Amino acid sequence: MRLLHGIPRNYSWGSRTLIPELVGEEPTDSPVAEIWFGAHPNDPSTVDGKNLDDIIAADPQAELGFAVTDKFPHERLPYLVKLLAAAEPLSLQAHPTMEQAQEGFARENEADIPLTDRKRNYKDPSHKPEIIIALTDFYAMAGFRPVARTRQLLGALKCPELERYVTMLDGTAADNDDEAGLRALFTTWISIPTAARKELVDAVVNAARRLIAEAAHSLPARVDQWMVDDLRTVVDLNERYPGDAGVLGALLLNHIHLAPGESIFLAAGHLHAYVRGLGVEVMANSDNVLRGGLTPKYVDVPELVKVLNFAAADDPRVAAELEATDSVSGQDAGTTGGVKAWNYPVPVDEFAVTRVELPDAESTFALPSRGPVIALCVAGTARLSSASAAAGEGDQLELQPGQAAWMSASDSAVQAGGPATIFVVRVGVDD
């Protein structure tokens, strides 16, 4: 059990206030977008002044355990944990499947494209499933909206310039396949010439502004509130990225508001963009991103379309499951005033996430007995102690908000005490 020093990332879309407020500091002069906790080679966390990826490489079995090194033969930590603070929208993006990542990585290696080249799509041979769990109100666009609702939205806009495109939603299959329709429309929008796209975006945004104004003045309603909210985001995106293809893409996606504790899981191929808010993000340890707009970075349209999943996703939220086990202070997890632990079930082996609320100094929670585990404190003071600490022989560690601990496979059992809220991340494979 050792203190894990996270690595900040200062991307332009980050917030100057959200992470500083979490850790009890003043706003920063430059945006703090992310803090990375893990062993990603681009920015590994440190333990006792040493890079975590180097520590793991020196003794993979001791740090990761045989179950993990057998399942993941590259002998590296399979997951990455982040604090993510967005004041502005991130790029519209999707991630490849494992097979697509392996093929793309090998193909770009064979083509001698440097890993640092801005046109490099595949930085490693891994997929990148991810979950974002809100710490504040969090807004995101994730997955294609069901076509019936998108028809409703586009119809309400009454934008003549849109009409010939809307017919593409009929698809090309005999049964009017929704997936084929979404593919045809999105592929067209992201591929049309720049001048034509800007004219279309201007027309759409003007129509959106009219509709929002109508709703604000309580004129005869032809829109539901969700349409007004979605269109406000579309207008805001165009103010930040005028004429961008991502503005049109936003017309097709689910717009989601997460309350604190709620989450979204994003599997391979799901087009998405986080819009604003603070959250804990956990993902497979990969950096493979295919972008589709809302960014000055490279957009490879054919490669993006190849990895996209065009099946509509009505709601990509993950329902947290309240845990009730002996690990929770010997009492039921749902007991009023007691420790509460929520698991976020995800269909991947690289990671498993639990959010634990320890209401007072007497509260305890037994962390997973076998590492590798990262425990991240987001509120209060988390007091970690090994099983033998009570006898004066074990380790003890205090975590403040924004601090994390590393527990290897060789560490003894650890208990967490409060009052605090912590996220506990482990590999999702059995011993």
SS3 state of residue 21: helix
Q: Which two tokens stand for residue 41?
A: 């080679």
Nearest Cα neighbor of 384 from 410, 353, 358 is 358
Distance (Å, rounded) from C-alpha 227 to C-alpha 208? Answer: 10
Nearest Cα neighbor of 292 from 308, 316, 311, 281 is 308
Q: Which two tokens stand for residue 3?
A: 């203190």
Q: DSSP states of 254-310 as a string?
A: EEEEEPTT-EEEE-TT--EEEEEEEEEEEEES----EEEESSSS---HHHHHHH---
Residue 118 bears catalytic tag:
no
Task: Identify the residue whose tokens are 């991103």.
Answer: 289
List the catalytic residue out of 145, 291, 370, 383: 291
Length of the chain (residues): 431
Q: DSSP states of 196-249 as a string?
A: HHHHHHHHHHHHHHHHHHHHHTTPSP-S-HHHHHHHHHHHHHHHHSTT-HHHHH
Q: Which two tokens stand for residue 394?
A: 């074990």
What's the one-letter identity of residue 95? H
Task: Identify the residue whose tokens are 């600490």.
Answer: 389
Distance (Å, rounded) from C-alpha 82 to C-alpha 118? Answer: 23
Catalytic positions are 291
